[in-house]
Amino acid sequence: MLAADVVDMVRKVAAINAATCDATELRRLAADVHRLRCWLDAVDAVVVTRARELASAGGRRSSREADLVTERAAVCQVIPEVHEALAAGTLSAGHADAIARAANRLDDQERVELAAVAPTLVAEASNTSVDAFARRVRELARRISRDEGLRHHEKLRSQRAMRRWTDCEGMCHTNISLDPEADARFSAAFDAALAAEQAKPDTGRTFDQLRADAFMSMVTATPAPGSRRPVELLVIVDLQTLQGGLHEAGVCETFDGQPLPPATVRRLACEAEIIPIVLGGDGRVLDVGRARRLATEDQRRALRAMHRTCAAPDCPVRFDDCDIHHLKEWREGGVTDVVNLIPLCSKHHHLIHEGRWRPPARAPG
């Protein structure tokens, strides 16, 4: 937007009382506020870049926020279409940051290849949620990468870190940063420890206290001599990617949806028990009919192969925190087959049973 347009829009927004707007006026106001915010984000990217050049503090912002804006500014310089769309309000900061994170994983030549498809990405961003767009750009960057993301994965491995400190009240804090492979191993062990804590009699502990107790049980438990603590590390990869590398429709990730290089998965497969899950075109996997009401562990694995998160549109709650819901209710004759099951977070599960939301006839995987 031109400076004069920005001034006019600020005056227009300032003159409207949002508390008295009708639905149409409120939508227009929200659109104008969004365009102004995008324009400010574009200016902010330039400000931070210049501030770094001048060795300035860059204003009162956290180092993490400054780093984020710096990455955004860098991609705006390399890919002018991103900066133009951000300034025009057709691209949000979240979409621009997704492109910046993807570009940060690539070398100079690979960034040129990413820039070549920037017009298409900018066009897609206008009608795609930030989360879905981030997955799309991340997968595109992995296919562009010469080593299929292995270099970036090794960089993340080298950045594993733990920080411990005690606050003024005497509480001790531990902060740990893990790469996707290490986090997948940690999550598997932690989820098992949390389940064991939740199975104990209720003593009024909050969920945060349960999590803390589960962590302590996990790290202080003494395994039997000569035994290894079993941890199930779940990775989803299609056969073509496992054998020959990433392709257009390939998938290679942890159960939490974090990408892994195929080379890493091949290494893990050398010492793993491989459980094949065959998905038919109609989504039928491991049907058990009405032999039981609850989904089996194998069915939960199959469903996780199809859903990273809650099946409600754009809901970010991860699969392991979801309930398994029958699309056609059990009491109405619905079968416990994968084709009739979807993962739902507690919020959307309650909304269904309260009659305030209806799931799709078949949620896309």
**pLDDT classification of 258: cutoffs 50, 70, 90:** confident
Residue 58: is its pLDDT beyond 50?
A: no
**pLDDT classification of 140: cutoffs 50, 70, 90:** confident
Percent pLDDT > 90 in the chain is: 7
d(CA 42, CA 326): 46
Whole-number pLDDT of residue 224: 57
Whole-number pLDDT of residue 278: 54
Percent pLDDT > 70 in the chain is: 80
**pLDDT classification of 280: cutoffs 50, 70, 90:** low
Whole-number pLDDT of residue 57: 46
Whole-number pLDDT of residue 13: 84
CA nearest 137: which of 153, 121, 149, 151?
121
Lowest mean pLDDT among 41-55, 67-81, 109-123, 224-238: 224-238
**pLDDT classification of 272: cutoffs 50, 70, 90:** low
Whole-number pLDDT of residue 214: 92
Cα end-to-end span (Å), the chain: 39
Instruction: Give DSSP secondary structure letters for 77-146.
Output: HH-HHHHHHHHHTSS-HHHHHHHHHHHHTS-HHHHHHHHHTHHHHHHHHTTS-HHHHHHHHHHHHHHHST
**Alpha-carbon distances, residue 214 vs 76, 192, 198, 220 (angstroms):** 44, 9, 9, 10
Amino acid at position 339, single letter: V
Whole-number pLDDT of residue 289: 43
d(CA 29, CA 104): 35
SS3 call for 39:
helix
Residue 321: is its pLDDT beyond 80?
A: yes
Q: Are 349 and 302 in contact (CB under 8 A)?
A: no
Enumerate long-range contacts of 261-264, CB under 8 Å, 24 or more apart: 261/147, 261/148, 261/149, 261/150, 261/153, 262/148, 262/237, 263/147, 263/148, 263/150, 264/150, 264/153, 264/181
Tell me the pLDDT tens digit for each residue of 88-139: 878 888 888 888 888 887 888 888 888 888 888 888 887 888 888 888 888 8
Whole-number pLDDT of residue 238: 80
Q: Averaged over 209-228, what is the pLDDT?
A: 77
Whole-number pLDDT of residue 32: 85
Q: Averaged over 22-39, what is the pLDDT?
A: 85
Who wins on pLDDT, 252 or 60? Answer: 252
Side-chain half-sphere of 76: how many Cα atoms within 13 Å? 28
Q: What is the mean pLDDT of the chain?
A: 78
Q: Averaged over 238-261, what is the pLDDT?
A: 79
Whole-number pLDDT of residue 163: 92
**pLDDT classification of 61: cutoffs 50, 70, 90:** low
Residue 358: is its pLDDT beyond 90?
A: no
Residue 10: is its pLDDT beyond 80?
A: yes
pTM beyond 0.85, yes or no = no
Who wins on pLDDT, 272 or 193? Answer: 193
**pLDDT classification of 175: cutoffs 50, 70, 90:** very high
Whole-number pLDDT of residue 213: 93
Q: Are 144 and 110 in contact (CB under 8 A)?
A: yes
**pLDDT classification of 287: cutoffs 50, 70, 90:** very low
